[in-house]
Structure 1
Amino acid sequence: MSTYQRLQRAFARTGIALDYRDGIYHVRDGQAEAHILLPESLPLEDKAVRQLLAFAAVKRPDGHHAVCRACATPDFHPGTVAPVGSVVATPADFVIPAAIGTDINCSVRLLTTGARLDQLAPHKERLVGLLTASLLNNGRDVPVTTRAFRALFDEGPQAFVDRLGSDGIWAHTDTARLHAELDQCVGLANFGGSSRYAPDAYLQERHAVFRDPCLGTVGSGNHFVELQVVEEVLDRHAAYRAGLHAGDVVVMIHSGSRDVGFYVGQAWMDRAKAEWPRRLKHPASGLYGLSGPLAHEYLQAMGVAARYAWANRVVLGELVRKDLEQVIGASGSCLVVDVPHNVVLQENGMNIHRKGATPANEGDFALIPGSMGDASYLVTGLGSADWLWSCSHGAGRSMRRQAMRAMRPDAAGAAEQSWQCVTLREERRIEEAPHAYKPIGPVIDAQESAGLLRAAVRLKPWVTFKA
C-alpha cells in the first residue's frame, strides 16, 4: 500500500474524503471542501486539514454558509485556530476575525542596501555590533507625536510621514524616499482606519511625544531582520525591475503590529463571539463571523493595526539604513516590496482572508522567506484565481516549537555554517533552527508548476537578527 493510500484510509476513518491529483489534495467532509497545494514529499498534517475544513465551513448565525472558496499553499501547517497557509474568500459583507488573529498585517519587507557583499564583508563585525544595539538592545531613538499617530490611524501612512519630526531616527530619514516607497507596499492603500479603534496611549494629547516601546521592534517567534545576499538571478527582467544583481546585499524584515495588533485582534475576536446569538450553539472551531456594518467596522479596526505594522517595519528599515550609513556612507537603498500575509483584503468583490499566505496578483512582487539557514525568494505573482490570487508566505514549519525546545543547538554544525544568527535568547536559535522548517525548494517549485508565481531572485542568508 502506498503512502497516499494509507493517508487516504486514515482520513476516511474520521469522515474526511481525500483525493490527490497533480500535486493538489482535495479534501471534504460533510460540511465543506478545500484544496491544498502540497508536494507529495511534504507531510499533510491531520490537524491542519481539520482546521482548514472548519475554516471553510464557517456559517452565518442563520445557518447559511459564508465561505465562497477555501484553499491552502505549500507552507500549510496547523495554527492556533486557523491553519497557517490558508486562504479563504467570503462575501464582501462578512469577515472572520479569528482567522487573522492578533498578528495583524505581519508582513515581509525587502530593502536594497546599495552595497555588495565584497564591500560589506570587511566591515561585518562593526555592522553586526551596530545592528545588535539598534535592533536587539533597545538602542533606538524613535520619537513620535500623538498627532502623528492620530494621522496614521485616521488619514493613513502618507499623513504619518508628513508629520514626522527631525529628532532621533528621523534625523537620518529621507522622508521623500518614504513617500515614494508607499507605492511598493502591497495592499497598504486599501486599509481603512479610525483612531477610535486604537489604544488610548497613542492618542492622549498630553503626550506631545509618545515613545512607544513597541515601535521599531522585531517581535518574537519567527520574526526577524536578516541581511541576505543575492545568490542567483532567475528572472533577469524582474531582477532589473527590483534593482537587484548577483552579489548584492539586501535586508529582509519580517515583523507585524506588535501590541496594537494584539489589542485590536483580541477585542474583535471577543466582539465576534459576543455577537453570536445566545440561543444558538457556539461553533466548535471558535471561528465566529461578523456581518454587515460590524464587518465593515472590523475592517476599519484591522486597518489601524495594519497601518501600525507598516510603521513598525518602516522604523526597523530606517534603523538598518542609519547603521549602514555609519559603516559605508550614504547609499542608494530603496524598497523593493512590502507584502502582507495576515490580513483581510477586499479583492474581486470578496473579502480574501490570508492566514500566513501572501497576495500574488499578476505582476506584483511577493516575498517567500525560507528558514534562517535556507534561501529566501523574491517572486512575481501570476494572479491565479484558482488559488485566490495568493502564494505561500514562507516554507512553513515542519516541527512545532514545543518539540524543538527539547533539542539543543549543534555547536559543530554552527561553526561550519556560512550564516550567523544574532539573538539575545538562546531558545530562538533552537526553536527557529533550519530543520524546524520545510525545505524551500519544493515549496517554490510546486507553486511555479501550479501557476501561482514565477521565481525571480534567490537570496541566501548572511546574518539573521532574532529577538
Structure 2
Amino acid sequence: MSKLTRLQRAFARSHIDLRYEGGVYTVRNEATEATILLPASLPLEEKAVKQLLAFASVKTPHGDAAVCAACATPDFHPGTIAPVGAVVATPMDVVIPAAIGTDINCGMRLLTTGMSLAQLAPRKSELIARLQSVLLENERNIPTHTSAFKALFDAGPMAFIDKIQPEGLWGSVDRDRLAEEVTRCIGLDSLPANSRYAPEAFVSGREVFRDPCLGTPGGGNHFVELQVVDKVLDRHAAYAHGLKAGDVVAMIHSGSRDVGFFVGGRWMDRAREAWPAGVRHPESKLYALAGPLAHEYLQAMGVAARYAWLNRVVLAEMVRREMADLFGAEKSRLVVDVPHNVVLTEQGLNIHRKGATPARHGDLALIPGSMGDASYIARGLGHADWLWSCSHGAGRRIRRQETRGIKPTPTSGADWQCVTLREERLIEEAPQAYKPIGAVIDAQVDAGLIEGVARLRPWMTFKA
C-alpha cells in the first residue's frame, strides 16, 4: 500500500477527502476545500488539516461564508487554533481575529552590517558579550515619549520618527536613514490604526514611558541572528540590496510582544461576545467579525502591528550601535522588513496570513530555517493561486511540547553558536525540531511562488 493510499484511508475516517498531484494536496470535507503545497517527503499532519478546513469554513455571525479561498505553504503544521502556514482570504468587510492571534505582525527584519565574516570573527567573543548584554540581559536604555507612541498609532512611522528625542538609544539613531528605510517595510504603509485601541500606558500623557518589552525579541522561536551570505542565487538582485558572499547580515524575528497580547486577546474576546444569542458557537473558536466591527478590529490590529515594526527597529538599532562602537561599522542598511502574522488588504480582499509571508510580485521575502540551518532571501512572484504568499520559515516537525527527548543542542560548534540564558531553548529550538529548509524552498520555487536571491548560513543566534 502506498503512502498516499494510507493517508487517504486515514483521512477518510475523519470524513476528509484527500488528493495529491504535482506536489499539492487538495483536502475537502462537506463544508469546504483547501490546498496545501507540500513535498511528498514532508509529513502531512491530520490535526493541521482539520484546523485548516475549520479556518476555511468560518461563517459570519449572520451565517454567510466568511472565507473566499484558503491554502497553506510548506511550513504547514498545527497551531493553537489556526494552523501555522495558513493563508485565508475574506471580503474586505470581514475579519477573523483568532486567525492571527496575539503575536500580531510577528515578522522578520534583515540588515546588512557592511562587514565580512573575516573582519568580525577575530573579535567574536567581544561581539557576543555586547549583544548578549543588550538583547538578553536588559542592558538597554530606550526612553520614549508618549507623544511619539501616540504619533505612531495615529499618524504612522514617519510621525514617530519626527517625535524622537535624542535620549538613550535614540541619541545614536540616524533619523534620515530610519525614515528612508520605512519604504522597505512590506505592508507597513497599508496598516490603519488609532491610538484609542492602544494600552493606556502608551498614551497616558506622561512625558516618558520606558516600555519593558520594547527592544526584546520574545521567547519561543523569536531570535536575533548574525548570518553569513553563503551563496548568491541572483547576482543582480543581491547587488541591488548590498549583499555579497562572505558578508555578515543581521536577521531579526520578533513581534508585538505585550501590545499584541493586549490587542489580540481583547478582540478575540470581543468577537466571541458579538456572536448572536441563540446561534451555535463555532467548535473551532474562530469567530468572524463583519461590518463596522471588522474595520474597528483592523485599526486595533494596526496599533499592535505598528508597535511590532518599532520593536524590530529598536532591536536593529541596538545591533547597529554595538557594532559601530566595536568595529566602527557605519555602512549598515536595511534589506527588508516583512510581516508573517497579520491581515493585509490586497487585491480587494483581507488576506489573513498565519505564519505565512507576503510574496507579491517583486517583493522580497525572508524565509529562515532553524538556528542550525540556512535561511533564504527570496523574491515573490505574485502567484494568485497561493494568495500572493509564501512560507515564513521551514516549519516545525516536532511540537515544542514533544521535544523533551531531543538531546540539547551544543552551545557552540564549528560554524554557529546559540547564545541564550535559558537552556531549554537549546532543546525546544534544536535544528532537528524543524523541517529541512531546502525541501521547503525547492517546493515553492518549483511551484512558482518565489525565486531565490541569496542563501544565508547562521553564525551566532541570540534567543531569549
TM-score by length of 2: 0.99
- Residue identity in the other structure for 2:285: G
Q: Which string of whole-angstrom CA distances, capped at 9 and with x for unpartnered residues, describes residues 401-458 of structure 1? A: 11113433155xx654410000000001110000000000000000000000001100
2:240 partner letter = R
1:453 pairs with 443, 450, 455, which one?
450
Change beyond 3 A, Cα 1:276–1:6: same
Distance 2:409 2:276 in 1: 53
Paired residues of 1:108 and 1:340 also in contact (CA < 8 A): yes
Structure 1 segment 244-393 matched on structure 2, within 5 A: 244-393=243-392
Asked if the contact 2:37–2:74 (Cα under 8 Å) also holds between the matched residues in 1, the reply is yes
* Distance in structure 1 (CA, Å) of the matches to 2:293 and 2:28: 30
Contact 2:59–2:66 (8 Å) recurs in 1: yes
* Secondary structure in structure 2 of the residue aligned to 1:426: coil
- Corresponding position of 2:172: 172
Query: Amino acid of the residue matched to residue 266 of structure 2?
Result: A
RMSD: 0.8
Please give the alpha-carbon distance, in whole angstroms, between the structure 2 residues aligned to 1:159 and 1:70.
36
Q: In the alignment, is the contact (CA less than 8 A) between 2:412 and 2:418 conserved in 1?
A: no
1:116-195 equivalence runs, <5 A: 116-195=116-195
Aligned position for 1:86: 86
CA distance in 1, matches of 2:240, 2:118: 23
Aligned partners of 2:113 and 2:329 also within 8 Å: no
1:235 equivalenced with 2:234 (yes/no) = yes
* CA–CA distance in structure 1, aligned partners of residues 447 and 191 of structure 2: 29
Answer yes or no: is the 8 Å Cα contact 1:103–1:256 preserved in 2.
yes
8 Å CA contact 1:405, 1:427 repeated in 2: no
| 8 Å CA contact 2:193, 2:301 repeated in 1 | yes
Identical amino acids, percent of aligned pairs: 67
Question: Aligned equivalents of 2:404 and 2:187: distance in 1?
Answer: 36
CA distance in 1, matches of 2:265, 2:240: 39
Question: Hey, what does 1:220 align to over in structure 2?
Answer: 219
Specify whether residues 381 and 410 from structure 1 end up closer, same or farther in structure 2 by C-alpha distance, changes over 3 A only. closer
Instruction: Please give the per-residue CA displacement for 1:89-138, whole angstroms capped at 9, x wherever unaligned.
Output: 00010000000100000000000000000000111111110000010000
Counterpart in 2 of 1:38?
38
Gap regions ≥5 residues in structure 1 = none
**Cα deviation, residue 14, structure 1:** 1.2
Taking the aligned partners of 1:301 and 1:203, their CA distance within structure 2 comes to 14
Alpha-carbon distance, 1:238 to partner: 1.2
Quote how far apart the aligned CAs of 1:171 are. 1.3
Paired residues, number: 464
Partner of 2:427: 430
Structure 2 Cα separation of the partners of residues 226 and 113 of structure 1:
12
Q: CA deviation at 1:62?
A: 2.4
Alignment-mate amino acid for residue 263 of structure 1: F
**Per-residue deviation, residues 140-168 of structure 1 (Å, max 9, x unmatched):** 00010000000011111100011111111
Q: CA deviation at 1:8?
A: 0.7
Q: Distance in 2 between matches of 1:402 and 1:11?
A: 24
Whole-angstrom CA distance in 1 between matches of 2:219 and 2:109:
17
Which 5+ residue runs of structure 2 have no aligned equivalent?
none
Q: Distance in 1 between matches of 2:384 and 2:200?
A: 41
The amino acid of 1:460's aligned partner reads R
Residue pair 2:100, 2:341 contacting (<8 A) in 1 also? yes
The 8 Å contact of residues 115 and 331 in structure 1, kept in 2 or not, is answered as no
Structure-2 separation of matches of 1:347 and 1:321: 33
**Aligned position for 1:464:** 461
SS of alignment partner, residue 337 of structure 1: strand
Shift in CA distance, 153/444, structure 1 to aligned 2, threshold 3 Å: same
Instruction: Work out the CA distance in 1 between the residues paired with 2:436 and 2:406.
Output: 19
